[in-house]
Amino acid sequence: MISYNGYEDTITRVYDNNQEHVFKFWDELTDAEKKSLLEELSDIDFQHLMSLYEKTKEDEPIPMDFQPAPYMPVPRTDEQKKEYTRAYDAGIDMIKHGKVAAFVVAGGQGSRLGFDGPKGAFPVGPVSDKTLFQIHAEKIKKYSEKYGVIVPWLIMTSPANHQDTVDFLKEHNWFGLHEESVHLFPQKMIPSLDPDGKLVLADKHSIFKNPDGHGGSLTALRQSGVLEKMIDQGIEIISYFQVDNPLVNIVDPYFIGFHVLQKAHISSKALMKAYPEEKVGVFVEFENGKIGVVEYSDLPEEKQYEKDDEGSLRYAAGSIAIHLFDCRFLMDITGGGSLSLPYHIAKKKIEEYTREGEKEIQGYKFEKFVFDALPLTDNNFIMETTREEEFAPVKNKSGIDSVESARELMSNLAMNWLKQQGISIPPEVKVIEISPLQAVEPGDIDNHITIPAKEKVYIQ
Ligand code: UTP
C-alpha cells in the first residue's frame, strides 16, 4: 500500500474499493503530481460511483405509463392567434423590464464533430463563417439594443474547455458585449469507468472524467453564485439553450409571455417529429400527472408508431432542449445542494493512458439530462415551434444534423424572412445569411435593401 502524509483516508478508500491500479505509476511521480492525484481521488464519492456501475448491469428502468403531453400549438385558429397576441404583450413587458437572461450550455465534448476546441468556436455562418459563439453573442447584443436593456449571457463550460472558452471570447473582445454582462462558470466532472468498474487513468497522475451532462447545469448555475447574482439584478427568467443550435430564438416574446401568463416554473419548446424513428425525446404526461421527456430509445415501439384519430403521430412533440426556467424555482430545487437528477449511462469511447501511449477503450460515462428537471414541478408549459425557424443542431461532421445541414437551414430561414418582408431575391442567389446584428426576426430587416445578383449574399 502506498502512503502519503495527510491522505491516509483517501488512500484507504481507494484500496477498499479495489481501485489501487490508479497508483501504478506512483514511483515515477513527482511530489506535486502525487499530491494532485490524491487530491483528485479525495473528491471521488466511491460509493455513489460503484452504485452507478451496478446500474450498468441492469436495464434502465422503463418509464411509468404515460400519454402525450399537452402543448400550445403554432397558432392556426383566431382564438389561438388572440392568445399569442396576449402572450406577446406579456413577454415584451418582461423583456423590456430586464427580467430575462440567456443561458447557453457549452460544456459538452463535441466528440461527434471532432473539433479541436470548444464547440462554440466552430464556424457555421453559411456565408460569413461566423462561429456559434459569435452568432449567439450578436443575437444577444441585438436583443439588448432592440429592447433597451442588458440581457446577461451565462455560459456553462466544463473544466476541460473553460480556459479555452474564456480566451476565445476575450480574443474576440466578447463579440461586442459588455464583459461584465457575460458570466462563465464550469460544470462538474464525474469519473468514467472501464467495463470492469475500474477508474481509468487519463495520464500518470490523473483520472479520466467526463462533464456531468447538461443536467449538471442547474446545480452549476447555483453553486457558481451566478443564479443569486442574476436574482439580485432583477432577473426572473433564465432562457436555456444549447451552444450547437445557431437558429435558436433566445429571447422570444411569445414564449416568455406564455411562460409568465401560465405561471410556469419550466417552459419548453417542442417540434413535431418528422418521422417515427427520429432520434428526439418526446414530451409526455406520466400517470402521476407530471410532465417529462421520454428518450427515443425508451419509447416503446407501439407508442413510437401510434397514430391519433387524424392519422398523425400521437407522440409527436419532440424536445429540442430550449427551455425557460423561473429563477425562484431554480433556487428552491437547488437549495442546499439537494438537486439530484438521475445519471444516465452511456457506453462510449474513452482514451486510457498506458505506458505504450493512449489506448481507446469502451467504457461507461455518466451524464445528467436537463429535461429530468421537468417532473420536479406541476407548473410546466410546452409551446410548439417549427424546425425551419428554430432547430439546426450541429452534431456531426456531415449528413444528418451536421454543419452542412445547419448552414442550409440558416440560409433557408434567411430567404423566408426576406420573402415575408416582400424583398425580392434574384435567381442567382443560392446562399444567403443575415447577420443577427441586422435582424433577430423578419420585422427587423430594413425593407429598402436590394439583394445583389450573386451566388452568396451576406446581409449585415
Ligand atoms: P450533446 O449531448 O449533443 O453533446 O450536447 P456534445 O458534447 O455537444 O457532443 P457529443 O455527444 O460529444 O458529440 C448538447 C448540448 O449540451 C451541452 C453541449 O455543449 C451542447 O450544447 N453539454 C453536454 C454540456 O454543456 N455539458 C455536458 O456535460 C454535455
DSSP labels, 408-441: HHHHHHHHHHHHHTT----TT--EEEE-TTT-SS
Task: Check whether 92 has a pLDDT greater than 80.
Answer: yes
Q: What percent of the chain is predicted at pLDDT more than 70?
A: 100
**Other CB atoms within 10 Å distance of the CB of residue 39:** 11
How far apart are the C-alpha atoms of 274 and 380, rounded to whole Å?
24
- The pLDDT of residue 64 is 78
Q: Are 23 and 85 contained in the same domain? A: no
Task: Decide: 436 in ligand 1 pocket, CB within 6 A.
Answer: no
pLDDT band for position 194 (cuts 50, 70, 90):
very high
Positive or negative torsion for Cα 357, 363, 367, 371: positive
Across residues 228-243, what is the average pLDDT? 98
Q: Are 125 and 221 contained in the same domain? A: yes
How far apart are the C-alpha atoms of 39 and 48, rounded to whole Å?
18
How far apart are the C-alpha atoms of 367 and 217, rounded to whole Å?
11
Contact status, residue 384 vs residue 73, Cβ threshold 8 Å: yes
Is residue 285 situated within a structural domain? yes
- Looking at 342, 362, 391, which one is the last position of a domain? 391
pLDDT band for position 63 (cuts 50, 70, 90):
confident
- Looking at 391, 425, 454, which one is the last position of a domain? 391
Across residues 42-66, what is the average pLDDT? 90
Q: In ligand 1, which atom is closest to the CA atom of 396? A: 13
- The pLDDT of residue 60 is 73
Q: H or E element: which one contains 190? A: strand 189-191
Task: Decide: 109 in ligand 1 pocket, CB within 6 A.
Answer: yes
Question: CB under 8 Å to 63, separation ≥6 — which residues?
Answer: 284, 286, 292, 294, 298
Task: Check whether 337 has a pLDDT greater than 80.
Answer: no
For Cα atoms 366, 1, 33, give the angle at the middle one, nearest 5 degrees: 60
Contact status, residue 192 vs residue 366, Cβ threshold 8 Å: yes
Task: Check whether 61 has a pLDDT greater than 80.
Answer: no
- The pLDDT of residue 59 is 78
**Closest protein CA for atom 4 of ligand 1:** 108
The whole-angstrom distance between residue 222's C-alpha and the CA centroid of its chain comes to 16
How far apart are the C-alpha atoms of 27 and 357, rounded to whole Å?
18
Q: Where are the alpha helices (DSSP H) in 97-172?
A: 132-147, 162-171
- Looking at 372, 391, 410, which one is the last position of a domain? 391
Is residue 440 situated within a structural domain? no
pTM (2 d.p.): 0.96
pLDDT band for position 305 (cuts 50, 70, 90):
very high
**Other CB atoms within 10 Å distance of the CB of residue 168:** 18
Count structural domains, the chain: 2
Q: Are 158 and 39 contained in the same domain? A: no
Give me ligand 1 centre to Cα 179, in Å: 25
pLDDT band for position 373 (cuts 50, 70, 90):
very high
Across residues 294-300, what is the average pLDDT? 91
DSSP state of 75: P
Task: Decide: 242 in ligand 1 pocket, CB within 6 A.
Answer: yes
Q: What percent of the chain is predicted at pLDDT more than 90?
A: 95
How far apart are the C-alpha atoms of 105 and 215, rounded to whole Å?
10
**Other CB atoms within 10 Å distance of the CB of residue 134:** 24
pLDDT band for position 62 (cuts 50, 70, 90):
confident
Across residues 134-160, what is the average pLDDT? 98
- The pLDDT of residue 339 is 85
Is residue 84 situated within a structural domain? yes
Across residues 183-188, what is the average pLDDT? 98
How far apart are the C-alpha atoms of 129 and 107, rounded to whole Å?
22
Q: What is the pLDDT of residues 99-145, one digit of tens each?
A: 999 999 999 988 899 898 999 999 999 999 999 999 999 999 999 99
Substitution candidate for ligand 1 out of 105, 192, 402 with most atoms within 8 A of CB: 105
Across residues 176-188, what is the average pLDDT? 98
Is residue 186 situated within a structural domain? yes
How far apart are the C-alpha atoms of 316 and 151, rounded to whole Å?
33
pLDDT band for position 297 (cuts 50, 70, 90):
confident
The whole-angstrom distance between residue 452's C-alpha and the CA centroid of its chain comes to 37
| Parent domain of 34 | 1-43
Substitution candidate for ligand 1 out of 158, 162, 188, 242 with most atoms within 8 A of CB: 242
- The pLDDT of residue 423 is 97
Give me ligand 1 centre to Cα 452, in Å: 38
Q: Are 124 and 189 contained in the same domain? A: yes
Q: Where are the alpha helices (DSSP H) in 309-460?
A: 327-334, 387-390, 403-420
Give me ligand 1 centre to Cα 225, in Å: 23
Task: Check whether 58 has a pLDDT greater than 90.
Answer: no
Contact status, residue 128 vs residue 119, Cβ threshold 8 Å: no
Q: Are 19 and 70 contained in the same domain? A: no
Q: Which three cell numbers stand for residue 114?
A: 471532432
Q: Are 39 and 71 contained in the same domain? A: no
- The pLDDT of residue 136 is 98
Task: Decide: 209 in ligand 1 pocket, CB within 6 A.
Answer: no
Q: Are 179 and 323 contained in the same domain? A: yes
Q: In ligand 1, which atom is closest to the CA atom of 213? A: 28
Task: Decide: 142 in ligand 1 pocket, CB within 6 A.
Answer: no
- The pLDDT of residue 182 is 98
Identity of the amino acid at 354 = T
Q: Are 216 and 130 contained in the same domain? A: yes
Q: Are 115 and 241 contained in the same domain? A: yes
Is residue 77 situated within a structural domain? yes
Task: Decide: 156 in ligand 1 pocket, CB within 6 A.
Answer: yes
Across residues 351-375, what is the average pLDDT? 95
- The pLDDT of residue 338 is 72
Across residues 29-33, what is the average pLDDT? 98
Give me ligand 1 centre to Cα 309, in Å: 37
Pairing of strands 291-294, 343-354: unpaired
